[in-house]
Structure 1
Amino acid sequence: MTVTDNAPADSGHADPPIHGLMARLGATMADRFRLVVLAWIAVVVALGAAAPSVFSSLAGAGWQADGSESVQVRELAQEHFGGTGSDALQVVVHSETHTVDDPEMAAAIAGVTGVLDSDSRISQVVPPQPGMTISPDRHTAIVLGGAGADPNAMVTAAGDLADPLAAVATDGIEIHPTGASALWSDFNAANHDAMIKAEMFSWPVTLAIMVLAFGSLVAAGLPLLLTMAGLVASAGALVLLNELTPISVWAMNFAMMFALALGIDYALFLVVRFRDALRNGASARLAVAETMGTAGKAVLLSGLTVLVSLSAVLLVPAPAVRTMAVGIMLAVVFVLAATLTLLPAVLGKLGRRVNAGALPHAKRQQQRSSWFGRWGSLVHRHPWPLAVGALGALALLAIPVFGLKVAMPSIQVVPEDAAVRQGYEVVQEQMGAGVPGTLQIVAAARDADEVARVAAATEGVAMVSPPMPSTTADGADLVLLQAVPDVDPSDPALAGTLDRLRADLPESAIVGGAPAENLDLQQALNDYLPIVMTVILVLGFALLLVALRAPLVALMGTVVSLLSTGAAFGVAKLIFQDGHGAGLLGFAPQGFLDGWGPVFFFAMIFAIAMDYTVFLLSTVKEHYERTGDAAAAQVEGMAHSGRVIFAAAAVMVGVFFSFALAEPLPPKEMGIILGVAVLLDAVLIRLVLLPALLRITGGAAWWSPAWLRRLLPEISFSH
């Protein structure tokens, strides 16, 4: 179907020929409105059929370093020791008035045993053992449900069995599931609920900002169209992908946030350009082609940059971290596809009706902002003071990052009323600080006595259990020992205890357990951080170089993106490690940042920063291609992209900061770190530092040697 508004407003002639791949794509989408819409409806319906089960279908575990010693211990415990590894369910039975010898406690323990026995995911039930899982005063006992399924199924089992186990409790007897599987179950549930609430809170704020930014109710609704299409499609795709390999439930949480933020960014950039082309007399079809030939290229490059940045996270050997990146990447792919196909088709169909319901200021608004033009001129006149000021502010905020500490989350990341936290605290109070963080040692049976002797003599170990023989014939030469540390599992001293055990135990012994899995994962994250950063920086530079065909400006665009990242983590250190503002934000600081933050948030921040870099530099390059005047291009680039960057940043900051209101700590960390990064990047870097550097470098910024120009593809942003 061909759009009806296909001639210029002031002429009856047909549109001139359209040149350029992206421009032709836009015109084709506008010409085939019905086909494009039907295709998207088919995609959304097909994938949307699976979308409703996304949160119940996706995996709850995966916080591990694949191939690590601790993961080997867990796998051996499941295979040869009845599933008594780190993913076993631990159910705490406690009474202030009864002991395990009383009939009331015995009945409660029998009830817990019955609930666990009835679930096929529990391989065996281990009753409370004196000296190990019965407290000295006999008021507390732990019933162990061996893992008979994979870690993700055990996290699901912990959630499924929570209510039946709670029903066993009576007056005077408490029942609390605890252990790693229960922790991840409560952790995921609390964070999922918090992120849904934050999303719901952010929608009205986002809509208000969009109406102001777009100036029209119809135009403001277009990003919601993209976001919903992208979210539904990515949710369904994640469910289908989960059939092939476990995908973390966190993947969808992050995908929701990123799809909203990027969908608005991309739509804003295209709609502003489309409306400007209409004002200049172009037909709807030609305006779509012009928009896609200029802003569409920038959006495509931005999307590729985001995908490249997040793809580097796939190098980290941690399933949860990898699949979070996969979730965001899927959302970006679908939102980007909708932006480059569905949005041009809708714009072509709407034509001048895109301004329906326009606010008074929008009717006069043009793409070129006189305010940002004046700001660009100010930067042009005073580049050095502004550059030094922006650098100084960013450096000052980044200084704290050198004292940043990271660790896997402590029990404090779940709410105080969570069953797993209550059980954890009861166990510590009744049995010792280190019992919830018991280490497990698997060794050759011949070395059992030596392992027990060395472990008991190791500094930081409070108690060692007798060796437990394998329950299977093919593991008869193995034994399992439990080593109880003398400190809380989140205490940094535990890392030293683990290192000493691994160094001093016989060669056949390997050490695992839930705290060891956390420490091994943290070490893997630390080891891969410089690799991930290097890959992101190199690929980001390469993409900018290909798009802009200028080594110096590509280098500047890449390096300045590091500054907002460093400043954001500096602020994160002050808030989440040192506790500044903790009372205002409603959380108790752990004394460190959650361990996945540096790797994962670096990729996300860099992706967003490069998003704005692309928007600014592509606009400057467009004007430089037209005029050859670097100074004028810098000013006009600011005038034509400043409002878009500012509005897009306002939306992102609103979305991200809404997560700061969440009760659980991880969404709060994510929201504040990303929100601060976007705020600093948009204000200090894209609107001050990068334009100042363009002014200082002048025409040299856009110089490229002849041999490099011959190697790089011809990409033009001018129309």
Structure 2
Amino acid sequence: MTRSTALGVDNPAAEPITAGGVLGRMGATMAGHTKWVFGIWLVLLVALGAAAPSVFSSLAGAGWQANGSESVQVRELAQQHFGGNSSAAVQVVVHSDTRTVDSPQMQQTLSDVGTVFAGDPRFGALIAPQPGMSISPDGHTGILIAGANASTDDMVKAVDDHKAELTALSGDGIEVYPTGASALWSDFNKANHDAMIQAELFSWPVTLAIMVLAFGSLVAAGLPLLLTLAGLVASAGGLVLLNEITPISVWAMNFAMMFALALGIDYALFIVARFRDAIRHASSPRAAVAETMDTAGKAVVLSGITVLVSLSAVLLVPAPAVRTMAVGIMLAVFFVLVASMTLLPAVLGTLGSRVNAGSLPHAKRQVHRSPRFAAWGELLHRHPWPFAIGSLLVLIALSIPVLGLKVAMPSIEVVPTDAPVRQGYELVQAQMGEGAPGMLQIITPAAESAETAAAATATDGIAMVTPPQPAPDGSDYVMLQAMPTVDPSDAQMGTILDTLRADLPEGALVGGAPAENLDLQQALNDYLPLIVGIILILGFVLLLVALQAPLIALLGTVVSLLSTAAAFGVAKLIFQDGHGASLLGFTPQGFLDGWGPVFFFAMIFAIAMDYTVFLLATAKEHYERSGDPKVAHVDGLAHSGRVIFAAAAVMVAVFFTFALADPLPPKEMGIILGVAVLLDAVLIRLVLLPVLLRLTGHAAWWSPAWLRKVLPKIDFSH
């Protein structure tokens, strides 16, 4: 072997590799053209990295709406005809214990608030506090409304820009708080962003420690983090550029950060572990890369496709924030997948046997075929039924609570108690009534105004209805405000809204922030069965194509549902019933955030199928070599068990760091995903699925002749 070949430098002609599959030859090409690969990635990362630092300030802050719903129609009509007095308008609460709204000091403060808004074209008409509508009965609290003259995303940014200036007007016994939906998302996004950054910073050293223990080598442990960093920078820059075309929710980056870290480590673990085994007997680093990509590389590609397909189903939900969160994760997965197929093979080809540099003492005895997981596979093979029944009982017991799961859009409690929007919200409730922060807006033709006002006033659950206000632009519309008798997040709010809409004349439309939340929740509920069905079908089809075996593809898909159901059962016990709430430091809302079932199902199923592909692809590789189902079962575990265990440990550590966050949504996300991965890896991938391989024997890998002719041929043996 020449020195240039051993080091993996550019010399593609030195050792042409034509055997193996497409991915093997592609991996060898990457390892043989390292200068080109590194150069292209450097240019890509510099270009996208230049945009990456502005990702959190550039991305959209709103988008939590059901496009085409009645409430969105009301908001659009309000912005068009009523000076922007819509759900996106900014409400500024001005309160004094000692002075009334008509006092000179309070009037001066209201004038100062108007001055803050005056220089910004994103704000529309200003509506001063009005008796009977936006002044409290005792006269000590008034609400000034600044109309929304821009999109909901721009209004959130407008609040970001001015809320410090507004709250700075507090003083001399007068309090000033910006409230309303735009202010809520401004405060919520900031709290959420801070929590996500803290969790990410905490998870990196934990991840590195687990990597070192798993690989036993500092160099090998660093490669997954290199891959993840490349994926993160590329996806952050990509989201900023994509935001120039269409608004992308800031939440997209939050999820992208998490998934780039989790899946980047998963993929790198699988590939690097296989390369370390191949380099022991391969004729050169390029040959080792070819063997690695021809086996582990196929599993990674199939896993990545499965993740992308699962998340693509979420794009059906007509909510911009939900869709763009899925886009953010898909972009991160895409870049991590591309880096796994190009950058990582080039690095491995360059390193060669030096991938084991900086090894810890125990690592020198480490081999790819884990004796411990081989022994575990033998134990499962001898006693399959006790392990199958035990794991099933645990999963079913944890799944039962999901039958009582309730979902709703987040309440005001998702923002910190010292956030201005929450202080203003609670002040309005105390001064004006429980439902005052969640006023419903009714827009109706002027001819039906009297009938609409009478019907709204008579509706159960409506405490007060303001007189009809004609549209300032002279159009044939009037607006009424209806105050519910309950808090906007109360379970009765949905019934009140449905009753109000049913009682009003046909031309009347009902909107407002509570209605937008309820309409979005309804859309999420309506689309959930469709999304679950699509994900299950596509997951089965992808496993079928990968494994060419219908029985194990079906079993692999069905058992993935168990960890998902169990994770949601645990979520119900914690976040709805409040078990462990004091330990985790939150106040339960009595429900799970409404976007959770749709989004978390897609994410959990994608992760579960990730491990399924790793285990079954390895088992099929050994079945193709030996034709013996016992060898497939035992050696499948022996060669993939350590990687699955280490990858799951990293994911659980990453996800559980988000449980330390103060805002509730990141806490929900971290615990639900962490529990799902823990249950899936331990009880399903390392127990139940191997036992099913044992019990089904040859039938697991059987495929009818007609199906083999239809499906593309995919081999996992090299």
User: What TM-score bracket applies, with the shorter chain setting the length?
Assistant: over 0.9
Counterpart for residue 505 of structure 2: 506
Q: Secondary structure in 2 aligned to 1:508?
A: coil
Counterpart of 2:219, as a letter, is V
Q: CA deviation at 1:14?
A: 5.8
Identity %: 73
Write the deviation string for residues 209-262 of structure 1: whole angstroms up to 9, x where unpaired.
011111111111111111111111111111111111100000001100100011
Counterpart for residue 587 of structure 1: 586
Counterpart of 2:598, as a letter, is V
Q: Secondary structure in 2 aligned to 1:170?
A: coil
Matched, 1:125 2:126: yes
Write the deviation string for residues 371-398 of structure 1: whole angstroms up to 9, x where unpaired.
0001001111111111111111000000
Write the deviation string for residues 613-634 of structure 1: whole angstroms up to 9, x where unpaired.
0000000000000011112210
> What are the equivalent positions in structure 2 for 1:503-582 lying under 5 Å apart?
503-582=502-581
Write the deviation string for residues 74-123 of structure 1: whole angstroms up to 9, x where unpaired.
00000001100100000000011111122111111111111122221111
Counterpart for residue 345 of structure 2: 344
Distance 1:417 1:283, change over 3 A: same
CA distance in 2, matches of 1:4, 1:307: 36
Q: Which moved more, 1:362-371 or 1:563-572?
A: 362-371
Counterpart of 1:587, as a letter, is F
Matched, 1:177 2:206: no
Write the deviation string for residues 174-210 of structure 1: whole angstroms up to 9, x where unpaired.
0000000000000100000000000001111111001
Counterpart for residue 425 of structure 2: 424
Q: Secondary structure in 1 aligned to 2:605?
A: helix
Counterpart for residue 334 of structure 2: 333
CA distance in 1, matches of 2:361, 2:312: 43
Matched, 1:18 2:19: yes
**Quick check: 1:3–1:285 contact (8 Å CA) kept in 2?**
no
Matched, 1:678 2:683: no
Counterpart of 1:522, as a letter, is Q
Q: Secondary structure in 2 aligned to 1:393?
A: helix
Counterpart of 1:384, as a letter, is W
Q: Secondary structure in 2 aligned to 1:83?
A: coil
Q: CA deviation at 1:18?
A: 2.4
Counterpart for residue 604 of structure 1: 603
Q: Secondary structure in 2 aligned to 1:145?
A: strand
Counterpart of 1:659, as a letter, is F
Q: Secondary structure in 2 aligned to 1:64?
A: coil
Matched, 1:144 2:145: yes
Q: CA deviation at 1:17?
A: 4.2
Counterpart for residue 358 of structure 1: 359
TM-score, scaled to structure 1: 0.98
Q: CA deviation at 1:279?
A: 1.7
Matched, 1:85 2:99: no
**Quick check: 1:2–1:32 contact (8 Å CA) kept in 2?**
no
CA distance in 2, matches of 1:190, 1:94: 25
**Quick check: 1:121–1:157 contact (8 Å CA) kept in 2?**
yes
**Quick check: 2:75–2:512 contact (8 Å CA) kept in 1?**
yes
CA distance in 2, matches of 1:136, 1:354: 74
> What are the equivalent positions in structure 2 for 1:452-491 lying under 5 Å apart?
452-473=453-474, 476-491=475-490
**Quick check: 2:567–2:673 contact (8 Å CA) kept in 1?**
yes
Counterpart for residue 196 of structure 1: 197
Matched, 1:161 2:162: yes
CA distance in 1, matches of 2:170, 2:257: 38
Q: CA deviation at 1:19?
A: 2.1
Q: Secondary structure in 2 aligned to 1:506?
A: coil
Counterpart for residue 396 of structure 2: 395
Counterpart of 1:246, as a letter, is P
Q: Secondary structure in 2 aligned to 1:707?
A: helix
Counterpart of 2:149, as a letter, is G
**Quick check: 2:460–2:496 contact (8 Å CA) kept in 1?**
yes
Distance 1:350 1:179, change over 3 A: same
Q: Secondary structure in 2 aligned to 1:130?
A: coil
Q: Secondary structure in 2 aligned to 1:230?
A: helix
Task: After the TM superposition, list the runs of 4 or more consecutive aligned residues in structure 1 that deviate by more than 6 angstroms.
Answer: none
Counterpart for residue 10 of structure 1: none
Q: Secondary structure in 1 aligned to 2:20?
A: coil
**Quick check: 2:117–2:123 contact (8 Å CA) kept in 1?**
yes
Counterpart of 2:327, as a letter, is V
Counterpart of 1:532, as a letter, is I
Q: Secondary structure in 1 aligned to 2:587?
A: coil
Counterpart for residue 619 of structure 1: 618
TM-score, scaled to structure 2: 0.98
CA distance in 1, matches of 2:128, 2:282: 81
Write the deviation string for residues 504-559 of structure 1: whole angstroms up to 9, x where unpaired.
11000010000000000000000000011011000000000001000001001100
CA distance in 2, matches of 1:5, 1:534: 50
CA distance in 2, matches of 1:608, 1:602: 10
Q: CA deviation at 1:6?
A: 7.3
Counterpart of 1:545, as a letter, is L
Q: Secondary structure in 2 aligned to 1:99?
A: coil
Counterpart for residue 442 of structure 2: 441
Distance 1:17 1:112, change over 3 A: closer
Distance 1:112 1:14, change over 3 A: closer
Counterpart for residue 368 of structure 1: 369
**Quick check: 2:585–2:662 contact (8 Å CA) kept in 1?**
yes
**Quick check: 1:537–1:558 contact (8 Å CA) kept in 2?**
yes
CA distance in 2, matches of 1:585, 1:17: 56
**Quick check: 1:3–1:33 contact (8 Å CA) kept in 2?**
no
Distance 1:281 1:150, change over 3 A: closer
CA distance in 2, matches of 1:520, 1:167: 35
Counterpart for residue 654 of structure 1: 653
Matched, 1:29 2:35: no
**Quick check: 2:17–2:28 contact (8 Å CA) kept in 1?**
no
User: Number of residue pairs matched?
Assistant: 712
Counterpart of 2:384, as a letter, is P
Counterpart for residue 117 of structure 2: 116
Q: Secondary structure in 2 aligned to 1:334?
A: helix
Q: Secondary structure in 2 aligned to 1:417?
A: coil
Distance 1:14 1:167, change over 3 A: closer
**Quick check: 2:17–2:25 contact (8 Å CA) kept in 1?**
no
Counterpart of 1:582, as a letter, is A
**Quick check: 2:230–2:339 contact (8 Å CA) kept in 1?**
yes
Matched, 1:275 2:276: yes
Write the deviation string for residues 476-517 of structure 1: whole angstroms up to 9, x where unpaired.
211111000010001111111100111111000010000000
Q: Secondary structure in 2 aligned to 1:91?
A: strand
Counterpart for residue 706 of structure 1: 705
Kindly report the root-mean-square deviation, in angstroms, between the aligned alpha carbons of the 2 structures. 1.2
Counterpart of 1:227, as a letter, is T
CA distance in 2, matches of 1:63, 1:606: 24
CA distance in 2, matches of 1:20, 1:202: 37
CA distance in 2, matches of 1:216, 1:248: 39
Q: CA deviation at 1:4?
A: 2.5
CA distance in 2, matches of 1:351, 1:565: 40
